[in-house]
Structure 1
Amino acid sequence: MCAQTTGGEKYDVMLGELGARLDVARGENEANVAIVEHTLPPHTLAAPLHRHSREDEISYVLEGEMTVLADGELATVPAGESVVKGRDVWHTFWSSDEPLRFLEIIVPGEFSEFFEEVSHVSPLDPSDEGKVAEFLAIGERYGFEADLGSIPQLCEEHGLRM
């Protein structure tokens, strides 16, 4: 089991196909902002539909193209542009034809610690009730709600894998 960070420890983990590397820990600044660099192979769903109750995420695309589904609306974000995924908004995202690399600015930054904490239950197998329960319990501690049932439909509808 990975240790939970205390706001200053760096990590570099894989959550299935989603890479997560903590570049700026929330404990490194008084503003409590964290920056996580994510990577994702082509045509890959990063996460099920989900929402955060405590933080906003700002994604700045470095390479590739990100498709974001938020509140039922699709948006395409090319390299050099950003998108805000606000709190309490159901959203998910995926990569298009090229590998995706982006910075996730998380405000406030506590949620940046979620990625390392769930890395030991990843990749998440929906048939493993123990891992699913642990994933959901970790999410609950962070005010993160996920609709795991959205994965098959999103993958089929958009030609993705997870």
Structure 2
Amino acid sequence: MTEVRMLGPGEGEITSDPEGTRSDRYLIDGALTGGGFALVEQVLAPRVLAAPVHLHTLEDEYSFVLEGRLGVLLGDEEVFADAGTLVFKPRGQWHTFWNAGDGTLRILEMIAPGGIEQLFRKLAEPGGEYDPETLPALAAQFGCDVDFEATMPVVERHQLIF
């Protein structure tokens, strides 16, 4: 028998950073889909960078903007997306994203196959911040690579919080 899964507004596991600049609400975990898919609602405060420049080797990401303005670096190209827009971030492409507006940014992050959402959880644990000394090894456990050197020009160019 198939189990019906419904989550209302504000339901589901929610993690956030100590500064209150980012929260993740886990709507569908990869474990529920046999690893095929995960869905996470991400909320970023104004001018917050979500992550250092990074790439995934195992999954593709799709960001659907629910509210606010999303800025995305995809390779060497920067794009901006408003509510109702979908941005595809394929595996193997260096990227990062941020809240490019003055209000709250809410996106649905669709991940296929699922699994990288477990890294999001680890980063939300105490001591799991984006430390250049420890993050590369942690990210590698999930098939990811990070580039802090490429991140700082994005932070400076857009005056972001990171």
Q: Which category describes the TM-score, using the shorter chain as reference length?
A: 0.7 to 0.9
- For 1:72, the aligned partner's letter is D
CA contact (8 A) 1:118 1:138 kept: no
Q: Distance in 1 between matches of 2:137 and 2:155?
A: 25
How far off is 1:159 after superposition?
1.6
Partners of 2:143 and 2:33 in 1: how far apart? 22
CA distance in structure 2 between the partners assigned to 1:47 and 1:31 by the alignment: 23
Choose the corresponding residue for 1:40, options 44, 52, 66.
44
Instruction: Write the distance in 1 (CA, Å) between the matches of 2:144 and 2:82.
Output: 26
Conserved 8 A contact 2:44-2:105: yes
Partner AA of 2:154 in structure 1: L
Change over 3 Å in CA distance of 1:104–1:89 after alignment to 2: same
Are residues 1:12 and 2:14 paired? yes
Q: Distance in 2 between matches of 1:77 and 1:95?
A: 10
2:121 match: 116
After superposition, the C-alpha distances for 1:80-122 in whole angstroms (9 at most, x for unaligned) are 1111000000001111222100000000001111111222234
Taking only the aligned residue pairs, the percentage that are identical comes to 33
Question: How many residues align structurally?
Answer: 147
Partner of 2:66 in structure 1? 62
- Aligned with residue 87 of structure 2, among 83, 89, 107: 83
- 2:146 paired with 1:146: yes
Instruction: Please report the RMSD computed on the Cα atoms of aligned residues, expressed in angstroms.
Output: 1.7
Gaps in structure 1 of 5+ consecutive residues: 1-9, 127-131
- Distance in 2 between the 1:137 and 1:101 partners? 29
Task: Specify whether residues 141 and 123 from structure 1 end up closer, same or farther in structure 2 by C-alpha distance, changes over 3 A only.
Answer: closer
Report which of the two has the higher share of helix: 1
Aligned to 2:51, what secondary structure does the other structure show? Answer: coil
TM-score (norm 2): 0.83
**Contact 1:11 1:116 (C-alpha < 8 Å) held by counterparts:** no
Counterpart-to-counterpart distance in 2, 1:105 and 1:59: 6
